[in-house]
Structure formats: C-alpha cells, structure tokens
Structure 1
C-alpha cells in the first residue's frame, strides 16, 4: 500500500512540474526517495538496468531543470543527485544546505536541517547559488572505526 501512496505522490509531483507520468520517471523517483544519500547516474544504472543510459540521463536532466532533484559532487568530482525540498522550482533551486562526503564509504549526504551561517559577500558580487561541503566519516563508518 505504501508503494501505491508513493506513486500517487510522485504522479502529483510530475504533474505539478508539467512532466509526463512515465514508468521510468516514477521508478527513478521511487529509487531516489528510498535512499538517504545522493545517488550517481552510474549507481542508478546498476540497479535500474532496464532503463537505458540515455533515457536515465534525460530523466535526471529534466528533473534537475524542473527543480525536482539537485546535483552535488562527491570527492571524486562525480555528479550525484538528491531529491529537492518542496520549495525548489523550475530554474530556482533552494538546496543551500551542507553536503557531507564520507571519506570511507564515499556516500554523499544532504544535511538539510543544518543551519548555515550568513554569507556576506563583498559589494558587487551577486550570488546565484551556494554549495557547502564537509568531509569525514558518516555515523555508520564512524562506528566501524571505533571498534
């Protein structure tokens, strides 16, 4: 039943962003929402092997353009994608939160609940986006290191 509720939520999300409700789009949304970390396209390809690479790329691009997902880079420079908060929209992301890169498991976490400090730029600078990264050990890897 929860899967059905998720599908209704995802169908509404696609409708709000003027995207067709296709099975591959719904599967990508379901897969991304089931994870607590950002996900790279190669990772998605490995678990969604019935969706070809070009189709997956187009889905991720459309989702990013519409404000459904945002892109964050890991320590190796690989693009990872995470679901946006509900206040993102087409052409205007509000993903100004801390991105944590675990140096052990290589997962990227969006820490949405962290309060970011105010950033005062010099006169004449007009910010369009902020990206803040931290790296270290995630809670899972930190516990392993203590043992």
Structure 2
C-alpha cells in the first residue's frame, strides 16, 4: 500500500516526504472531504503549516481539489486520476449534509456547461447541494441503530 502511495506522488511530480505519504494515505481512506482541522486532529503532533503546505502542494499538482461548502472551512478531497496540475477535472457536484456536516464528492453528478455572455470569463465553477446524506436519513439511521443492538 505504501508503495502505491509513493507511486501516486511520483506520478504527480511530488517528492514523497514522510508527511506527504501519511497525508495521502489518510486522504485515501476517507469517505468524505476533510478540512485542515480534520488533518490536525488526525496528526496532532504535526505542524499546522506543514499540513497546509502539503494540501496546497497536492492541490497545485492535481492530486486534491478544494471545496468551499459554505461552512467557512475549506475541505479537500482526492481528485480523479485524470486531474492534472493545470487542468483539474473536478467539475462534479458536492453534497454537504446539514446533519453530520460531512461534505461528499458526487463524481457521477457532473456540473453542466454554463453558457456565459461573450464578455464574461469563468475562473471556477462549483455546485454545492445541501441536505441530509444517506447515513443521516431517518430510515437509514434506524437501520444502523437496529444492527448495532
């Protein structure tokens, strides 16, 4: 597994430092996007600046994309394999659960092309859907509680 993580960093032209390997391993195990605070909690002995720089390097190299989900805290998630430093392919919908506060990438739900007037130029496009995720829906929560008993 560590070899795969190291290979991923090499493919993106990122020097595989110990912290970068740990952060990428952590990100690859997440089901939802994570914030810098989430990383700090996971790596409580790591320096906040080092974690931030690691995320920014990953973003610059097309390994992660950032998500402004309206919570005031930027979240980060792994990019699709075809993302490049100069051409992120993360034009998909993101879902923010108002119950558990998790933010999910929904890569199958693509953001449609937006037709802008001739003298407008888009720098970025995002679409955040807010609601209740599958784990938090009342009927799913009851099933999870029943299984836990």
The TM-score normalised by the length of structure 2 is: 0.87
Closer, same or farther: CA 146–62 of 1 in aligned 2, 3 Å: closer
Residue matched to 2:109: 114
User: Which residue of 4, 12, 16 corresponds with 1:9?
Assistant: 4
Between 1:45-54 and 1:103-112, the stretch displaced more is 45-54
Which of these residues, 50, 54, 58, is aligned with residue 53 of structure 2? 58
The answer to whether the aligner puts 1:34 opposite 2:29 as a matched pair is yes
**Out of 49, 66, 71, which is 1:76 matched to?**
71
SS in 2 for 1:112: strand
SS in 2 for 1:109: strand
Q: 1:64 to 1:129 in 2, by over 3 A?
A: same
Root-mean-square deviation (CA), in Å? 1.7
Matches for 1:116-135 after TM superposition, within 5 Å: 116-135=111-130
Q: TM-score, normalised by structure 1?
A: 0.88
Q: CA deviation at 1:89?
A: 1.0
Report the counterpart of residue 20 of structure 1 in structure 2: 15
SS in 2 for 1:113: strand
In structure 1, list runs of 5 or more residues that go unmatched: none
CA change 1:115–1:73 in 2 (3 A) is closer
Deviation at 1:112, TM superposition (A): 0.4
SS at match of 1:101: strand
Structure 2 stretches lacking a partner, 5+ long? 143-149
**Number of aligned positions between the proteins:** 142
